[in-house]
Amino acid sequence: MRPTRKTQVFPISSILVGVLVIPLVVLLVIFLVQPTAFSSSSFSSSSWETTWNPVASNDTSNSRSNYSVPSSTEDIWQPQPSQAPVFTFANNQRGAPAPAPQIFGVDDEVQETITQQVGPNKTRFMSGSSQLEKLEASLGRARSLIREAANVRNKISTHQDPDYVPRGPIYRNPNAFHRSYLEMEKLFKIYVYEEGEVPIFHDGPCRSIYSSEGRFIHEMEKGNMYRTRDPDKALVYFLPFSVARMVRFMYVPDSKDRHGMKLTIIDYVNLIAQKHPFWNRSLGADHFMLSCHDWGPFTTSFVPLLFHKSIRVLCNANTSEGFNPSKDASFPEINLKTSEMSGLGGQPPSSRSTLAFFAGGLHGHIRSLLLNEWKGKDRDVRVYEKLPRGVSYEKMLKGSKFCLCPSGYEVASPRVVEAIYAECIPVLISDGYIPPFSDVLDWKTFSVQVPVKNISDIKNILMSISSRQYLRTQRRVKEVQRHFLVNGPPKRYDVFHMIVHSIWLRRLNIRIQDLLT
Ligand SMILES: *[C@@H]1O[C@H](CO)[C@@H](O)[C@H](O)[C@H]1NC(C)=O
Ligand SMILES: *[C@@H]1O[C@H](CO)[C@@H](O)[C@H](O)[C@H]1NC(C)=O
Ligand SMILES: *[C@@H]1O[C@H](CO)[C@@H](O)[C@H](O)[C@H]1NC(C)=O
Ligand SMILES: *[C@@H]1O[C@H](CO)[C@@H](O)[C@H](O)[C@H]1NC(C)=O
Ligand SMILES: *[C@@H]1O[C@H](CO)[C@@H](O)[C@H](O)[C@H]1NC(C)=O
Ligand SMILES: *[C@@H]1O[C@H](CO)[C@@H](O)[C@H](O)[C@H]1NC(C)=O
């Protein structure tokens, strides 16, 4: 649906951004559920199949209960006066490049405590709570180890590792990241819900610009890494549905009828909340979904708790569409044309003869600004809507110094990872986009960010980067590559593990307490 695009980034001197400790709030949430005749037996596989069909979905809707969707979030959120400091991510300054969530450098006791109140009856779920306390205690220890590691402001991690030792300015804090990564490997356990059927659940596209969605779901389904079959041992709960698949199987193109998708997502979360105690226990805060489709954020909006409370791992990490970096994670968009990653490596810096390159369709307002300003106008800033015959897209990436990555119909661009693979410095041109892994990676050190209002200044901005600075930045692009590599099976520190690490960080940021016990 979306063609590939290019982005621009602005290399900025590496400055570690201090973390603001935000005073915290304990949210008591009232879980509004429309009580209706609902039995889990009505969720046999055959009834799931009917909901996939948007045409049939209206017929079945009456027999299903659903969450009532409040008209505003105030209806469900009741923020209480701050009772506990929260371990949360602070935004930098207003208007600055995407605020990066981070936990490193936070020194207080920092968790958002998730408590719940599910009606007046507090007699259920006694079992499992001491298990939960144990898990929370282990997270508490991990937090203090990470915090301690964050105080060591070394350029190189001080921890041992046979495979890789994080170092250098691409990391906000290499030592804290490394400690956190190692703790994740030791402790992190993910439970994957088994309800739902392929192709919408437990499966997803493994090629195309949506490949991140399918690759991750498949990896979790295989169960070789992080997965636990015992939900009482899990730190997070995965809702393995594919938004790209929902769009493909349930949405009639151009129909604007997303009713089938809506029912499916509502029914599914309802089922999970009825059948298992875990959703109610945290009001979804230790649950995650992921999507690379433009409609990922929109799809989650049908279940307010999923939107506002759960961890959403989204390619479309648009802060103007409710992406909240303190609880949501930015998902890299990777355009896999085959099941293998391709395009690694490029010309050495001295042979990169083109200053900046972009080729891609006129999608969205940022592209149109870029094309209007630069298409066919400049020998150094080579911007195409359509590449001329005989010109290879890959060769252009590999032979350019900077690769422009403007947002298209949504904020993320597969060009960012394409540029990183081709060792071309990505130039991000976007509004409200939080790039992937910005909780641990300092994007300013290996990319350039050009504000949308400065599209006409692109050439000046890029020309003003000295060759020393260019070489430094390009070297860092190569260093950061490993975190974007797609491997089957995954290898330590590659994109799969980095995504899991983003989720781990967000789970570290909350504390679940089961008030029902
Ligand atoms: C399903 O219901 C919605 C809302 O009531 C309506 O807009 C839509 O046209 C219906 N779809 C079909 C296929 O009947
Ligand atoms: C949700 O439930 C209400 C009341 O039970 C019902 O009127 C409504 O049609 C349901 N909506 C959907 C989308 O099923
Ligand atoms: C709470 O649940 C128990 C057992 O399910 C039931 O006997 C009791 O009446 C309920 N109390 C309230 C206040 O609903
Ligand atoms: C979770 O809460 C909802 C709403 O209060 C309730 O209908 C559902 O039965 C609860 N789930 C479990 C497993 O008790
Ligand atoms: C981000 O979200 C806002 C609000 O929905 C929208 O206006 C804007 O176009 C989005 N950005 C992109 C690049 O899609
Ligand atoms: C970006 O645009 C603003 C306003 O148009 C201008 O003042 C500023 O100098 C530009 N920045 C660069 C680096 O060109």
Our answer on whether the CB atom of 453 is closer than 6 Å to any ligand 6 atom is yes
488, 225 contact by CB (below 8 A): no
**Residue 153 banded pLDDT, cuts 50, 70, 90:** confident
Where helices occur in 295-413 by DSSP H, the ranges are 296-300, 304-308, 364-374, 393-399
Q: Ligand 1: distance of its center to the CA of 325 in Å?
A: 34
Q: Is the pLDDT of residue 256 over 90?
A: no
Q: What is the pLDDT of residue 255?
A: 85
Our answer on whether the CB atom of 313 is closer than 6 Å to any ligand 4 atom is no
The larger pLDDT score, comparing residue 413 to residue 81, is at 413
CA 412/CA 315 separation, integer angstroms: 6
Of 111, 107, 474, 28, which Cα lies nearest the Cα of 327?
A: 111
Q: Who's near 499: CB < 8 A, 6+ residues apart?
A: 212, 216, 290, 313, 329, 331, 332
Atom 10 of ligand 3: nearest residue by CA position = 121
Amino acid in the structure at residue 140: G
Q: What is the pLDDT of residue 129?
A: 65
Give CA separation, 434 vs 64, 122, 245, 407, 449, in Å.
Answer: 37, 40, 24, 12, 12
Q: At what angle do helices 129-150 and 495-508 cross, to 10 degrees?
A: 110
Q: Is the pLDDT of residue 46 over 60?
A: no
Q: What is the DSSP letter of 108?
A: S
Q: What is the DSSP letter of 318?
A: B
Beta-bridge mates of residue 227: 190
**Burial zone of 39 (CB within 10 Å; 0-12 exposed, 13-18 middle, 19+ buried):** exposed
The first and second tokens of residue 299, run together, are: 């799809």
Q: What is the pLDDT of residues 166-183, one digit of tens each?
A: 999 999 999 999 999 999
Our answer on whether the CB atom of 257 is closer than 6 Å to any ligand 1 atom is yes
**Residue 252 banded pLDDT, cuts 50, 70, 90:** confident
The larger pLDDT score, comparing residue 104 to residue 127, is at 127
Average pLDDT over residues 326-354: 92
CA 444 to chain centre: 19
Q: What is the pLDDT of residue 484?
A: 97
147, 107 contact by CB (below 8 A): yes
Q: Ligand 2: distance of its center to the CA of 61 in Å?
A: 7
Of 57-71, 154-168, 192-206, 444-458, give the lowest mean pLDDT range: 57-71
The first and second tokens of residue 76, run together, are: 């469900």
Q: Which ligand lies nearest the alpha carbon of 262?
A: 2
Q: Is the pLDDT of residue 408 over 80?
A: yes
Q: Order across the sheet with 510-512: list the strands.
A: 77-79, 27-30, 112-117, 510-512
- Indicate the average pLDDT of the chain: 79
Share of the chain above pLDDT 70, in %: 74
The larger pLDDT score, comparing residue 8 to residue 295, is at 295
428, 331 contact by CB (below 8 A): no
Q: Ligand 3: distance of its center to the CA of 305 in Å?
A: 25
CA 429/CA 412 separation, integer angstroms: 10
Atom 6 of ligand 2: nearest residue by CA position = 62
Q: Ligand 1: distance of its center to the CA of 58 in Å?
A: 6
Our answer on whether the CB atom of 121 is closer than 6 Å to any ligand 3 atom is yes
Atom 12 of ligand 5: nearest residue by CA position = 410
Buried b (16+ CB within 10 A) or exposed e, 77-110: beeeeeebbbbbbbbeeeeebbbbbbbbbbeeeb
* Pairing between β-strand 27-30 and β-strand 77-79 as defined by DSSP bridges: antiparallel
Q: Is the pLDDT of residue 350 over 90?
A: yes
Our answer on whether the CB atom of 263 is closer than 6 Å to any ligand 2 atom is yes
Q: What is the pLDDT of residue 130?
A: 83
3-state secondary structure of 51: helix
Average pLDDT over residues 368-376: 97
Closest ligand 5 atom, residue 410 Cα? 14
CA angle 103, 157, 425 (to 5 degrees): 75
Q: Ligand 6: distance of its center to the CA of 105 in Å?
A: 32
Our answer on whether the CB atom of 264 is closer than 6 Å to any ligand 2 atom is no
Pocket of ligand 2, candidates 66, 250, 258, 268: which has the most ligand atoms within 8 Å of its Cβ, to mutate?
66
Place of tokens 């050439």: 459
Q: What is the pLDDT of residues 440-458, one digit of tens each?
A: 999 999 999 999 999 999 9
3-state secondary structure of 104: coil
Q: Which ligand lies nearest the alpha carbon of 37?
A: 2
Of 11-15, 434-438, 497-501, give the lowest mean pLDDT range: 11-15
Q: Which ligand lies nearest the alpha carbon of 263?
A: 2
Atom 4 of ligand 3: nearest residue by CA position = 123
**Residue 348 banded pLDDT, cuts 50, 70, 90:** very high
Atom 11 of ligand 6: nearest residue by CA position = 454
Q: Is the pLDDT of residue 51 over 60?
A: no
Atom 1 of ligand 1: nearest residue by CA position = 58
Average pLDDT over residues 385-409: 96
Q: Is the pLDDT of residue 26 over 90?
A: no
Our answer on whether the CB atom of 461 is closer than 6 Å to any ligand 6 atom is yes
CA 383/CA 252 separation, integer angstroms: 34
Our answer on whether the CB atom of 31 is closer than 6 Å to any ligand 4 atom is yes
CA 92 to chain centre: 19
**Burial zone of 61 (CB within 10 Å; 0-12 exposed, 13-18 middle, 19+ buried):** middle
Average pLDDT over residues 258-267: 93
Q: What is the pLDDT of residue 156?
A: 93
Q: What is the pLDDT of residues 285-335, one digit of tens each?
A: 999 999 999 999 999 999 999 999 999 999 999 999 999 998 999 999 999
Our answer on whether the CB atom of 413 is closer than 6 Å to any ligand 5 atom is no
The larger pLDDT score, comparing residue 21 to residue 150, is at 150
